[in-house]
């Protein structure tokens, strides 16, 4: 009998991460099972309860409270200034706004670089105070000890490789893993993250061929952003993919809506109604 590969097997609809029938909160064990089934899944960022609630109702199975909130939500130029207190506050809001999605809280710059003990203390705050189901941190081999201790303490870790925005001051924003040496380093980092116990690896701005090789080499899923179509999962920053972000977007972003013009037009219509006396009307008033 011809063997079918995991990637060709039909997904059991009741178990599927997206479109599945389960109503309990998704765990990292469900993520591991999805890789075994060869099932692809979507992840979006979220920074507040209301947006997270919309995505939860739409069936998005994994949400990342990313430190991209720095640029997309808090008005900073980079992710570097974001604090752990801010991440705890936003993560708690996202957890409150959802009932099914696995919520991953980002460890911000300065909250884990000092070493494993600092990393565990920060991860513990995200779990105890915000209620996230997992944390994410940047770096493979350089964050090995941190990943190991957090995982051994019972907190699932998602690793982040390739372009790591917290290192913007040394790395800049450019494709990573080009050339043999850099590609081998990235592959080594991915395996190190897996060996340290990470349950998934984000690959940001990496050549598609390299992301495909990493995806084939790992037992844990890869989550691509600007890393081509071969990753097990894809993540986008929600304000980018909904057309809310101002200015030029990276080439890897696909826009699924134009919220910036929808919201701008609604704000102008309201302003014109107020100025022209068309709002409020009788049905909006109390007597």
Residue with smaller CB distance to ligand KIV, 20 or 52: 52
Nearer to ligand KIV by C-beta: 125 or 160?
160
Q: Which of 204, 208, 213, 272 is catalytic?
A: 204
Q: Which residues contact 106 (CB under 8 A, 6 or more apart)?
A: 64, 65, 66, 67, 87, 135, 136, 137
* Residues in touch with ligand KIV (CB under 6 A): 45, 64, 66-68, 106, 160, 202, 204, 225, 235, 237
208 catalytic residue (yes or no): no
Q: What CA dihedral angle connects 268, 269, 272 and 274, to 10 degrees?
A: -110
How far apart are CB 164 and ligand KIV at their closest, in Å? 8
43 or 183: CB nearest ligand KIV: 43
For 57-105, give the DSSP string: HTT--EEEE-TTHHHHTS--SSSTT--HHHHHHHHHHHHHT-SSSEEEE
For the CB of residue 43, give the shortest distance to ligand KIV in the complex, in Å. 8
CA–CA dist 29, 287 (Å, integer): 57
Least CB distance from residue 86 to ligand KIV, whole Å?
12
Tell me the closest approach of the beta carbon of residue 66 to ligand KIV, in angstroms: 2
Instruction: Identify which of residues 45 and 245 has a Cβ nearer to ligand KIV in the complex.
Output: 45
What three-state secondary structure class fits 143? helix
Q: Which residues are catalytic?
A: 204
């Amino acid at each position: 009998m011809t063997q079918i590969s995991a990637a060709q097997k039909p997904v059991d609809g009741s178990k599927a991460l997206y479109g599945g029938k389960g109503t309990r909160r998704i765990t990292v064990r469900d993520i591991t099972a999805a890789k075994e089934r060869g099932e692809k899944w979507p992840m979006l960022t979220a920074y507040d309860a209301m947006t997270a609630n919309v995505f939860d109702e739409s069936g998005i199975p994994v949400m990342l409270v990313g430190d991209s909130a720095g640029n997309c939500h808090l008005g900073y130029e980079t992710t570097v200034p974001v604090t752990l207190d801010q991440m705890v506050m936003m993560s708690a809001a996202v957890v409150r706004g959802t009932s099914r999605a696995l919520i991953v809280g980002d460890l911000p710059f300065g909250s884990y670089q000092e070493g494993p003990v600092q990393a565990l203390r920060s991860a513990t705050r995200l779990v105890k105070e915000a209620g996230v189901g997992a944390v994410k941190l940047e770096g493979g081999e350089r964050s090995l000890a941190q990943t190991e201790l957090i995982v051994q303490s019972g907190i699932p870790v998602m690793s982040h490789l390739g372009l790591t925005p917290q290192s913007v001051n040394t790395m800049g924003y450019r494709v990573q893993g080009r050339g043999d040496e850099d590609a081998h380093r990235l592959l080594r980092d991915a395996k190190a993250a897996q060996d340290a116990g990470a349950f998934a690896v984000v690959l940001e701005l990496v050549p598609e061929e390299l992301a495909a090789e990493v995806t084939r080499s790992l037992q844990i899923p890869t989550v691509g952003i600007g890393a081509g179509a071969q990753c097990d999962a894809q993540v986008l920053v929600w304000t980018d993919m909904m057309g809310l972000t101002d200015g030029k977007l990276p080439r890897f972003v696909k826009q699924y809506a134009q919220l910036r013009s929808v919201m701008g037009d609604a704000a102008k219509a309201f302003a014109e109604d107020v100025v022209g006396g068309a709002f409020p009307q009788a049905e909006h008033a109390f007597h």
